[in-house]
Amino acid sequence: MKTKHFPYRLDRRWTPLFIILGVTKDDGVTITSQGKLIATFGRFHVETALKNIAATKITGPHRWYTAVGLRLSLTDDGVTFGTNHKRGVSITFIRKIPRVIGLQRHSTLWVSVADPDGLIAAIGK
């Protein structure tokens, strides 16, 4: 498998927030030829093996205040790398990933990539 990069769909209304977080057009989710998922969101990142992914699901639209920015889920220990509220991919892990923010490790990651269908196909789950 070749390395594939899936950039975020940046909603320009939130540019000031993205600048503060260090998010650029180069950020997104990369599926590597070595079987890893690497998600970058400015100064924050997640890295895990594809075999650690239990499931993926397209979700949205969401309320902007639950989907845009770097966020912890209010209902579980999930983390959000959100650049728009329209559509994204929820990625569920078999083993929780190291914490990005908050006090706990994360069981899910939500990302608002420009091509959710392509990301799910590349992950293969």
pLDDT of residue 1: 76
What's the pLDDT at 68? 95
Count of Cβ atoms closer than 10 Å to residue 12 Cβ = 8
First to last CA, the chain: 15
The segments of the chain whose pLDDT lies below 50 read: none
Give the model's pLDDT for residue 96. Answer: 98
CB atoms within 10 A of CB 96: 14
Contact indicator for 22, 43 with CB cutoff of 8 Å: yes
CA distances to 4, 10, 93 from 106, rounded to whole Å, are 24, 24, 8
CB atoms within 10 A of CB 78: 19
Q: Given this model, what pLDDT does residue 74 score?
A: 77
